[in-house]
Amino acid sequence: MSDTDPLCHWTERDGALLRLRLNQPKANIVDAAMIAALHAAFDAARQKPRLRGVLLDAMGPHFSFGASVEEHLAEHCARMLASLHALIVAMLEFPVPILVAVRGQCLGGGLELALAGGPIFAAHDAKFGQPEIKLGVFAPAASVLLPYRLKQPAAEDLLLSGRSIGAQEALTLGLVQHLAVDPEVAALDYFVSHFAGSSAAAQACALKAARTPMQRDVRSRLAEVEQLYLDRLMSTHDANEGLAAFLAKREPTWQHR
Q: What is the pLDDT of residues 10-47, one digit of tens each?
A: 999 999 999 999 999 999 999 999 999 999 999 999 98
Q: What is the pLDDT of residues 54-81, one digit of tens each?
A: 999 999 999 999 999 999 899 999 999 9
Distances (CA, A) of 6 to 56, 59, 106: 13, 10, 17
Is 128 among the domain residues?
A: yes
Tally the domains of the chain: 1
Does 104 have pLDDT greater than 70?
A: yes
This prediction has a pTM of 0.96
Q: What is the pLDDT of residues 142-155, one digit of tens each?
A: 999 999 999 999 99
Is 204 among the domain residues?
A: no
Is 136 among the domain residues?
A: yes
Mean pLDDT for the stretch of residues 90-105: 98
Provide the pairing of β-strand 127-129 with 178-179.
unpaired
C-alpha to C-alpha distance for 33 and 40, rounded to whole angstroms:
11
Is 207 among the domain residues?
A: no
Is 253 among the domain residues?
A: no
Q: For the chain, how big is the Rg over CA atoms in Å? A: 18
Is 16 among the domain residues?
A: yes
Range of the domain at 163: 7-194
Please enumerate in sequence order all residues whose Cβ is within 8 A of that of 18, keeping only pairs 6 or more positions apart, or say none. 9, 10, 11, 41, 45, 48, 51, 53, 54, 55
Percent of the chain topping pLDDT 90: 96
Is 59 among the domain residues?
A: yes
C-alpha to C-alpha distance for 105 and 72, rounded to whole angstroms:
20
Contact 136, 239 (CB under 8 A): yes
Q: What is the CATH number of the domain that holds 180?
A: 3.90.226.10
Does 2 have pLDDT greater than 90?
A: no
Is 251 among the domain residues?
A: no
Mean pLDDT for the stretch of residues 251-257: 98
